[in-house]
């Protein structure tokens, strides 16, 4: 359980946010010891909620400046939140600027912004974005993001974030920058940032709707020859989702980044998926058939989240299994369709049922049992179990009666 958080969260207590955040402009000056984050937001009051202070989540941040409409304002810290009371009244939008610093090199939780193998990575699901800047860190607050990254060009030649790359160039003192714009509104848990010494496998594709896209798989130097299967899996995922469900890739590019230090197997950040190397790298000399199948399935799963979980997302974390279960169903259908032969499809179906019986059923019969949609939780990260993924998708794998 995270320090300072022991409050029980009840599903019945859900209340819509008192404010909406329409746009977010983030500027990062990346440094392992002290990263500077300038956060400019455009907010407006929620007319369906009675007027109340703005409470922004934050963890392990050093607050340097708060401006409202370009002017200084009073604030206070309360229960780990930044509380602002003197805000414009009415429903007109207003600008809020927050300047903070953090220490990614000391972030051993691997949540928020952290350093691994001399590169920067992020993990924001479920509540990691609050370790990057003060924010309404909840899935029902969706905003459009513009992100500018600045860093030493020699140490961090690759600068990635969500969306489309709109500008890049050099700065003074051997630094450079990259500006990314995500045209689609998203919750903060889907934010991603990567910066470091990486190499890339690229593939240009033309979708069924005639649009061209760039697919990229980024890995550390020396691993590029192990990314062919991951790229082929991504290409197959893009083609399958458009053909089977009419859901095309909606960005100019789609990126996968692999790192060995990653708590989750993979993460569906909008347009910039971050994976553990286990689910990206494969060599014919060492990888098994199961390794290849797992890479295909996980790459597909995270890509399919682009629509089931990203564009259509959760109201609150009690709905976690809805996005996960539906996407598990979709990745199972994907793997079965790629199997082609009816007997191969049957083998895949049997494998999926075996996971239910060997992993999920024992969990459901033991002390880790919990409903698919619980009534309460102390720590949302404890809800990331086999049940939240598999049982919701069980209709896809259990034999028909």
CA angle, 133 then 135 then 137, to 5°: 115
Nearest to 196 by CA among 154, 246, 239: 154
DSSP track, 99-121: EEEE-GGG-TT--EEEEETTEEE
- Nearest-angstrom CA–CA distance, 322 and 348: 23
- Nearest-angstrom CA–CA distance, 23 and 106: 29
Give, rounded to a whole angstrom, the gap between the first and last alpha carbons of the chain. 42
Q: Which residues contact 382 (CB under 8 A, 6 or more apart)?
A: none
- Nearest-angstrom CA–CA distance, 377 and 316: 12
Question: Residue 293 corresponds to which tokens in the numbers above?
Answer: 């199948």
CA angle, 266 then 194 then 323, to 5°: 35
Residue 182: other Cβ atoms inside 10 A: 24
**Is the N-terminal amide bond of 126 cis, ω within 30° of 0?**
yes
Cβ contact 295:279 at 8 Å: yes
- Nearest-angstrom CA–CA distance, 30 and 149: 7
- Nearest-angstrom CA–CA distance, 183 and 169: 21
- Nearest-angstrom CA–CA distance, 390 and 385: 9
Active-site residue list: 302
Q: 3-state DSSP call for residue 339? A: helix
- Nearest-angstrom CA–CA distance, 392 and 326: 7
């Amino acid at each position: 359980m995270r320090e300072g958080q022991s409050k029980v969260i009840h599903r019945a207590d859900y209340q819509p946010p008192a404010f909406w955040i329409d746009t977010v402009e983030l500027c990062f000056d990346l440094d392992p010891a002290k990263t500077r984050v300038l956060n400019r937001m455009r907010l407006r009051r929620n007319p369906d909620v009675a007027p109340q202070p703005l409470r922004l989540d934050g963890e392990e941040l050093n607050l340097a400046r708060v401006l409202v409409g370009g002017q200084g304002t009073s604030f206070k810290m309360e229960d780990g939140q930044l509380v602002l009371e003197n805000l414009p009244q009415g429903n007109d939008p207003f600008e809020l600027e927050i300047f903070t610093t953090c220490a990614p090199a000391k972030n051993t939780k691997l949540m928020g912004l952290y350093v691994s193998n001399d590169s920067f990575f992020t993990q924001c699901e479920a509540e990691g974005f609050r370790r990057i800047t003060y924010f309404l860190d909840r899935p029902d607050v969706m905003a459009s993001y513009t992100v500018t990254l600045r860093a030493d060009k020699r140490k961090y030649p690759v600068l990635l974030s969500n969306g489309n790359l709109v500008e890049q160039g050099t700065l003074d003192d051997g630094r450079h920058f990259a500006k990314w714009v995500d045209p689609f509104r998203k919750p903060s848990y889907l934010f991603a940032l990567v910066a470091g010494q990486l190499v890339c496998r690229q593939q240009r594709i033309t979708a069924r709707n005639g649009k061209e896209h760039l697919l990229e798989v980024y890995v550390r130097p020396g691993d590029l020859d192990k990314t062919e299967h991951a790229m082929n899996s991504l290409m197959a995922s893009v083609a399958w989702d458009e053909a089977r469900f009419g859901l095309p890739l909606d960005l100019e590019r789609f990126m996968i980044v692999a790192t060995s230090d990653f708590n989750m197997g993979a993460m569906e950040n909008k347009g910039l998926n971050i994976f553990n190397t286990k689910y990206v790298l494969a060599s014919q000399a060492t990888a098994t058939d199961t390794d290849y199948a797992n890479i295909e399935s996980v790459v597909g799963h995270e890509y399919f989240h682009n629509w089931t979980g990203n564009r259509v997302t959760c109201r609150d974390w009690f709905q976690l299994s809805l996005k996960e279960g539906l996407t598990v169903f979709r990745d199972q259908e994907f793997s079965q369709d790629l199997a082609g032969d009816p007997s191969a499809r049957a083998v895949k179906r049997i494998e999926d049922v075996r996971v239910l019986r060997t992993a999920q059923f024992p969990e459901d019969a033991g002390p880790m049992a919990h409903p698919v949609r619980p009534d309460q939780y102390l720590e949302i990260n404890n809800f990331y179990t086999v049940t939240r993924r598999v049982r919701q998708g069980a209709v896809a794998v259990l034999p028909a009666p």
